[in-house]
Structure 1
Amino acid sequence: MKISKIKLLITTVIFGVTVMQAIAQNKVTGYVFHDANSNGKKETNEKGIENVAVTNGKEVVLTNAKGVYQLPLTNDAIISVIKPSNYKVAVNANNLPQFFYIHKPKGSPKLKFKGVEATGKLPHNVNFPLIASEENEVFTALIFGDPQPYTKQEVDYFAKGIVEEVANIKNIPFGLSLGDLVGNDLSLFNPYIKATKKAGIPWYNVLGNHDLNFDVETDALSDETYEAHFGPANYAFNYGKVHFIIIDNVLYPDPRNQSKYWGGFREDQFQFLENDLKYVPKDHLIVLAMHIPLSEPDDNDTFNDEHRQRLFNVLKPFSNTLSLSAHTHIQRQDFFTNAQGWPQEKPHHHYNVGTTSGDWYSGKLDANKVPTSTMRDGTPKGYAFINFNGNSYSVDYKVAGKPKTHQMEIFAPKVVAKDKKTKAAIYVNFFMGSPSDEVLYKIDSGEWKAMKYTTEPDPSYVSQVVSWDESETLIPGKRASNAIDCTHLWKGKISTKLSVGTHTIEVKAKDMFGKTHYGSKTYRVEQSNF
């Protein structure tokens, strides 16, 4: 009888463990093991690791006492290990973590941008090596929003304006980009990877709406080129007492009209979330990283409300949660309460992170001939550091090219007439601010006074945009976008009843984490003769 006609199961004995594998390849099995010599191969003396989660993107199982797992398998699957705390996975030459195995026997369908090559027959076992690594529960992660270069020149802007500033950064265990790694041209994935490699740390990635294969008819196939470069679009890992979930929340095509995209999740993604969280201790901090914000700025219908509510329900058993997004090219803090469907007393914090591309690489060129690219809400381009301490966290926003103390932009008139009434005001754009924060100001040695939270365009940004339109000569670079309302802006009265001369405005702002930040600016009072 020919082997090709045999329908019986093949029994393979691996290191004393019997593993059943069908010729139809409808199951995958293997070891998660301690890779003592870091060579990526399981040696006979290297033991399996118990109770490590492994997933096929939907089901999640734990390894047994010998480190063995088994999962259902389709012909379009990515098997990945959910890295436990106190272990690390290897990275490739580009600092991309290697925690997955792609199973696409026939490869991706033919697309404009190449997907995954045919992977052929499944190996008898798909093993995942883990390297023991002591992890401090106090650590900091580096977060990039929307690098989004549309051209190779913009990749260079990203590399020079952002990555060079954090090149070979120390004491940061990993970085994460929150989607829109490129701008529709997926051939720029490799230049983007080469740029982020220079940060010198393991780098994780989120799928964004500009990272998709648009020549597909179903959402499940929209990430084929992304998978070929980065692996699964839905995965998880642990570090310290933090459980990170990276999730693709871009539905393409939009299921409502089969056009464009919409924020939400597929059913298999919900199953992955539910199955994954079953094995996470309830006292751990859950951090969800996605691209499209859960909030809907300007009341636009950008996210499926039912999906957001279902996500909230999945998170209900966990007291400590944080979600991250980018996409909007602004910076914003949102807090979901019972009124918005959050099922706990403590509000859920959703941080919409400012972008590394800023306002899509617009604005005047700096000394390095890189666009300043301030965002439409007046937030300068930059990146975030999220500081973890056990299951708690705080956030620092770092403006690119500025000292870390640069946390606000103060706008005030340069000169006012002595003792004259004026409608001019002092504005403070506190980049990490939220409406409940305290922002105080004083002039010279006067008393500290509270500033009034306001929602309007940041006049400092408006002035930048107007300078383009008023210029009688062409300005190198690209005109910035028009201003929008800022969600972290405060306003105070400016005094004209002061002596003639220069006066100092001092500002102090306390953020949601209890940290106080300072800024100052001067203005002149002059005697008016009319």
Structure 2
Amino acid sequence: MICWNKIQVIKRINFDIEFMNASTFLSIVFMLWNLTTSAQDVVKGFVFEDTNQNGMKERREKGLAGIAVSNGREVVLTNNAGSYELPIGNDDIVFVIKPAGYQVRLNAANQPQYYYIHKPNGSPTMEYKGVAPTGPLPKSVDFALVPQAESDDFRMLVLGDPQVLDQRELGYFEHGIVSEIRNAKDVVMGITLGDLVQSDMNLYPDYISLMAQVGVPWYNVIGNHDLNQDAPADSLHDETFEANFGPATYSFNYGKAHFIVLDDNLVPDPRGGRGQWSGYSQKRLDFVKNDLAHVAKDQLIVLINHIQLKHLNDNSMRLSDRQQLFSFFRGYTNVLALSAHTHQQQQFFYGKEDGWPNETPLHEFNVGASCGNWNSGRINEQGVADATASDGTPRGYVYLNISGNRYTADFKVAGKPKDHQIGLFHRKVLATIWWEGRGHIYANFFMGHKDSKVEYRIDEEDWQPMRHTLEPDPAYVAELYRWDTADTLFRGRRPTEPANCSHLWVAPLTNDRALGTHRIQVRATDDYGRQFVQTSSFRIEEDKY
């Protein structure tokens, strides 16, 4: 029932609306909707060991003590009987934070079912459908856990933006990425780092069906293309995502690793207008602080966003939010950040000058998009767009390898052997005449950054260092020129303009060797001490001047 003071508010705004602008009208609609959804109640329930795996708590099934449960802000631990109690409003999700050594129930699409959505009135009407009315709060909201063996050494899949536009691009995603990771045998789970679709969230069921084929529990991050852009308030921008995937901010454990997934989108833009910005609501920041209170400081924490923490432009992370987030991690010695969004592959590092409170810098792996350059480029023999990113990173995905509180990461180029980690570009033939005998070797080390060690040699000469350079990958530029100089249309879509590559090295290529074919070797060492070698060749011929 609506209380008397709410009726007075409604009467006060009962005036002629034809003179309102659209923004004012939407604000009033949201205020009225919020008046009926802001009531706070208490949710109670149990976290229990589901011995018969039917998802229902039965009298003989014991509660589990010390398990974290959250409403998206507060985090509490279950008592000795396995029960918990939390405040909950009428637009909240309560969820269990999966502990190590247990698995939550999975639905038929391998989506973890670790949450209960409480929206008695459902989502407000927007372009894309949100959550249907959930009805009254149940007397007990229980969470079933099943014991499972979890090694401290495990591997998981990480995908950057699929960002599928339509059914055709779903096909690119299926044949270019999913076909390689389908029924993966050596991974325990996977996660997609946002922008699951380009904008049409009616494609979510098709995306979910594809990810179900991988055969492991699959988590998802909300991206800036996964938002209800017509949401009248920031708290409502994830309604369609919630209806399909559950909470947009949550956490879970596996082995000795703790994963924190954050919604770092602000919509509408708090600076004004109907755009968006990257940052965190105070509720999300409070969740991180409260969540970390139950995480050991020497534990590996994987902090996951869609938009990178790096401030690259005015639409990058709101720095005051990043500063508050960083402050929560004081004393945490093993933290990895993952993000996507840029459609480039980059490694960022944050030190004390950036507000990171620890001696060891924070490493952020900004993962390349699985759709690459928005599914542009020529269509290959598999019927998939080439999609090389504008920094020259090929379409691909990542294996994150975790051992205790340490990690390594492997980038896998789709359709290539796993040791294909370097792209080479150079002249194929040099003339003997001196002014025709100059060129360069360019090496794009896909997992590199400016401090990586990259070397080269010709034939059996000594290894020499290559010089890091910040410029477009000439291999990408050359492909773009093919589009621009062709007198017939290629099948596919022209890629975007090139971007400076953060993982590109250069060395001179000269003709001061014998006539004939010579071998080029490039050797790169990653941050984990592993070496990769890529080979190529060039010829020296008599000039025809």
TM-score by length of 2: 0.92
Unaligned runs of at least 5 residues, structure 1: 1-23
Query: What is the correspondence of 1:157-196 to structure 2 with a 5 Å cutoff?
Result: 157-196=172-211
Question: Which residue matches 2:412?
Answer: 398
> Partners of 1:301 and 1:187 in 2: how far apart?
26
**How do 1:122-271 and structure 2 match up within 5 A?**
122-271=137-286
Alignment of 1:408-487 (within 5 A): 408-418=422-432, 420-421=434-435, 422-487=437-502
**Counterpart amino acid of 1:434?**
H
Alignment partners' CA distance in 2, 1:303 and 1:502? 50
Match 2:91 to one of 37, 55, 76 = 76
Which letter maps to 2:91?
D
Rounded to whole Å, the distance in 2 between the matches of 1:504 and 1:217 is 62
Q: Matches of 1:256 and 1:379 in 2, distance apart? A: 34
SS of the equivalent of 1:89 reads strand
Matches within 5 A, 1:259-338: 259-297=274-312, 299-338=313-352
Q: Who is 2:504 aligned against?
A: 489
Structure 1 residues 520, 498: CA separation in 2 closer, same or farther (over 3 Å shift)?
A: same
Query: Could you list the per-position Cα deviations for residues 361-387 of structure 1 after superposition, in whole angstroms to 9, with x for gaps in the alignment?
Result: 000111111101000000001000110
Cα distance in 2, alignment partners of residues 27 and 258 from structure 1 = 36
Which residue identity lines up with residue 266 of structure 1 in the other structure?
S
Match of 1:73, as an amino acid? I
CA contact (8 A) 2:297 2:333 kept: yes
Maintained 8 Å contact 2:157/2:191: yes
Mapped partners of 2:53, 2:255: distance in 1: 21
Q: For 1:486, what is the secondary structure of its paired residue?
A: strand
CA change 1:404–1:59 in 2 (3 A) is: same
Q: CA deviation at 1:184?
A: 0.9
- Percent of residue pairs identical: 47
Q: Which position in structure 2 is the counterpart of 1:372?
A: 386
Q: Distance in 2 between matches of 1:134 and 1:94?
A: 22
Instruction: Give, in angstroms, the shift of residue 218 of structure 1.
Output: 1.1
Asked if the contact 1:31–1:128 (Cα under 8 Å) also holds between the matched residues in 2, the reply is yes
Contact 1:25 1:122 in 2 (8 A): no
Q: Shift of residue 171 of structure 1? A: 2.4
Q: CA deviation at 1:529?
A: 3.7
Match of 1:356, as an amino acid? Answer: S
Q: CA deviation at 1:296?
A: 2.7
CA distance in 2, matches of 1:481, 1:57: 39
What's the TM-score, normalizing by structure 1?
Answer: 0.94
Aligned to 2:357: 343
Stretches of 4+ moved more than 6 A in 1? none
- 1:36 positional shift: 1.2
8 Å Cα contact 1:206-1:290 kept in structure 2: yes
**8 Å contact kept, 1:419–1:498:** no
Secondary structure, in 3 states, of the residue corresponding to 2:434?
coil
Q: Deviations over 1:5-40 (max 9, x none)?
A: xxxxxxxxxxxxxxxxxxx87000100001112111
- One-letter amino acid of the counterpart of residue 384, structure 2: V
- Partner of residue 18, structure 2: none
What is the CA-CA distance between 1:396 and the residue it aligns to?
Answer: 0.3
Task: Deviation per CA, 1:285-307: give whole Å up to 9, x if none.
Answer: 1111110001133x555111111
User: How far did 1:434 drift?
Assistant: 1.0
Counterpart of 2:6 in structure 1 is none
1:103-147: CA deviations, max 9, x gaps? 000100011111001000111100000000111000011000000
